[in-house]
Amino acid sequence: MPVRSRIVALTGAMSLTGLILAPQASAHGIVGVQDLPIPRWLFGWAATIVLVLSFVALAVLWPKPKLQETRERRLLGIPRLLDPLCGALGVFAFGAVVYAGLAGSEVASANLAPTAIYVTAWVGLVFAALLFGDVWAALSPWRALGRLGGWVAQRLAGDGLPEPMPYPERLGRWPAAVGLIAFAWVELVWTRGDEPVVLAVLAIAYAVVMLVGMSLYGVEAWTRNADAFGVYFALFAKIAPLRWERGAVYGRPPLAGLPRMDAGPGTLAVLLAAIGITTFDGFSEGPVWTDVAPELTDAISSLGFAQATALQFAFTIGLLLIIGLVSGLFWLGIKGMQTVSKAYDAPRLAREFAHTLVPIAAAYIVAHYFSLLAYQGQAMGYLISNPLGDALAPGDGGLLGTAQWTIDYGWVGANAIWYVQVGALVVGHVAGLILAHDRAIALYGNAREATRSQYWMLAVMVAFTSLGLWLLSAANA
């Protein structure tokens, strides 16, 4: 998290061991001591039992596909004005964050920009997407500006306005995957990644790239494929029981949006990157990385690089290796399916089962970032009243009167956080199993073959669950 980057940046004179160990204390705001009735590793065993029992229950009680075709119900109509209003809100918030970054305090925790980007947007919008659907699509500042630009151009040029170019199909969502990894690199690796000015400049640069892309390929096609955040939040929104479309809100069973997910080129990369990024964030706070990173950094610095550069190289290697490891695990499950039937090749199976990764990615994010959102998310309460981080007089409430608020670390305890983390991991992976089983029945035609095809997917789910719990346990230790 940015805290780590901050610490790394500010303590250049410290020994490398000190640099690596210091961030562990942050552990995403985990506060208090856990007093669990059983050791943490036993939760891993219990989760495995739940997954195996779920697998057996699906094999016995779920003989036909149920999720491939689900009906949506129109819940309510919404005024057409809401869309531009949300867009205007997004543009205003974007402007405020950029202004705070450029003009405000250089101290990351006192400035609105880092918390707004890394906590409220990056983490909070995932939670919002899981509960309420694609909130980001309505709030996205570049989408709103792109649509406004298109509307103005249409008014001015009329029929003379050329159609946008067709978005290259082969490119698919690869730009989004690259954007996601780049964002994670800034957040988790780059030592300047939480400097407000840097974040503001990067936000402007990203918005410019998005606007250029939208003007070339059209707002919706670009947002659907190349906007890393648009793609990222839209994938999680498919879990939600709500779907927003112009003028109406539709209700559907949770997960029902996923089987219809378009898994075109790059979609799998986005999902594997999302899981890998969260995994690395947890892994880099644990003892294994604490042991490995100094040696890796020393090896790189012996090639002639400065210590800080070598450290960033080491973290980059770690990030890419973990994304590779996560990808390898998924491919093992896919190759395992092929041992049952050669009817489908591996790339086809990977596309067909890509949507099963969405609840796993969501589970990892909820488990890993719940405490961050629960505690650090409260900082927005005082930051919106003092976005620049000015020194205020005692009792001065700032813009909205909330500048003196503080973070309440007592509202949720360490045990409750652990149970939320374990619950999220188990529910997410059981959801992944359900989706995979349902797709397998639709694909293979009979329940027996479908169940057999999912043996190795079960192993992958158990591996992901155990890995997630191990990471959390190491971070909480």
Partner 1 sequence: MMVMAHLGTDHWWASLLYLLPVLIVVAGIGITSWRDKRHEGEDDDAPTTPPGPTPAP
Please tell me the distance from the alpha carbon of residue 219 to that of residue 164, in angstroms, as a whole number: 9
Provide the minimum distance between the beta carbon of 35 and partner 1 in the complex, in angstroms, as a whole number: 14
Provide the minimum distance between the beta carbon of 412 and partner 1 in the complex, in angstroms, as a whole number: 23
Q: Is 19 an interacting residue with respect to partner 1 (CB under 8 A)?
A: no
Provide the minimum distance between the beta carbon of 60 and partner 1 in the complex, in angstroms, as a whole number: 15
Q: Is 414 an interacting residue with respect to partner 1 (CB under 8 A)?
A: no
Q: In the set 111, 140, 267, 473, which binds partner 1 (CB under 8 A)?
A: 473
Q: In the set 19, 226, 474, 475, which binds partner 1 (CB under 8 A)?
A: 474
Provide the minimum distance between the beta carbon of 463 and partner 1 in the complex, in angstroms, as a whole number: 5
Residue 364, Ramachandran bin (φ over 0: left; ψ between -120 and 50: alpha; else beta): alpha
Q: In the set 113, 202, 462, 475, which binds partner 1 (CB under 8 A)?
A: 462
Provide the minimum distance between the beta carbon of 262 and partner 1 in the complex, in angstroms, as a whole number: 31
Q: Is 466 an interacting residue with respect to partner 1 (CB under 8 A)?
A: yes
Binding residue count for partner 1, defined by CB under 8 A:
26
Q: Is 200 an interacting residue with respect to partner 1 (CB under 8 A)?
A: no
Q: Is 470 an interacting residue with respect to partner 1 (CB under 8 A)?
A: yes
Q: Is 459 an interacting residue with respect to partner 1 (CB under 8 A)?
A: yes
Provide the minimum distance between the beta carbon of 461 and partner 1 in the complex, in angstroms, as a whole number: 9
Please tell me the distance from the alpha carbon of residue 354 to that of residue 351, in angstroms, as a whole number: 5
Q: Is 372 an interacting residue with respect to partner 1 (CB under 8 A)?
A: no
Q: Strand 242-245 vs strand 248-251: parallel, antiparallel, or unpaired?
A: antiparallel
Binding mask 296-335 for partner 1 (x = CB under 8 A): ----------------------------------------
Please name the residue that has the structure tokens 């719940």: 370
Q: Is 452 an interacting residue with respect to partner 1 (CB under 8 A)?
A: yes
Q: In the set 10, 42, 299, 321, which binds partner 1 (CB under 8 A)?
A: 42
Q: How many CB atoms lie within 10 A of CB 274?
A: 28
Q: Is 450 an interacting residue with respect to partner 1 (CB under 8 A)?
A: no
Q: Give the nearer residue to partner 1 in terms of CB position, either 362 or 458.
A: 458
Q: Give the nearer residue to partner 1 in terms of CB position, either 287 or 445.
A: 287
Is residue 305 within 8 A of residue 208, CB to CB? The reply is no
Q: In the set 13, 33, 35, 38, which binds partner 1 (CB under 8 A)?
A: 38
How far from the centroid of its chain's Cα atoms is residue 423's Cα?
18
Q: Is 58 an interacting residue with respect to partner 1 (CB under 8 A)?
A: no
Q: In the set 41, 92, 151, 411, which binds partner 1 (CB under 8 A)?
A: 41
Q: Is 469 an interacting residue with respect to partner 1 (CB under 8 A)?
A: yes
Q: Give the nearer residue to partner 1 in terms of CB position, either 40 or 351.
A: 40
Is residue 226 within 8 A of residue 353, CB to CB? The reply is no
| Choices 175-183, 227-235, 242-250, 448-456 (CB under 8 A): range interacting with partner 1 | 448-456
Cβ burial of 444 (10 Å; 0-12, 13-18, 19+) is buried
Please name the residue that has the structure tokens 């990024």: 277
Q: Give the nearer residue to partner 1 in terms of CB position, either 333 or 377.
A: 333
Q: Is 351 an interacting residue with respect to partner 1 (CB under 8 A)?
A: no
Provide the minimum distance between the beta carbon of 38 and partner 1 in the complex, in angstroms, as a whole number: 6
Provide the minimum distance between the beta carbon of 433 and partner 1 in the complex, in angstroms, as a whole number: 12
Q: Is 446 an interacting residue with respect to partner 1 (CB under 8 A)?
A: no
Q: Give the nearer residue to partner 1 in terms of CB position, either 42 or 82.
A: 42
Residues that bind partner 1 (CB under 8 A): 38-42, 44-45, 48, 52, 287-288, 339, 452, 455-456, 458-459, 462-463, 466-467, 469-470, 473-474, 477
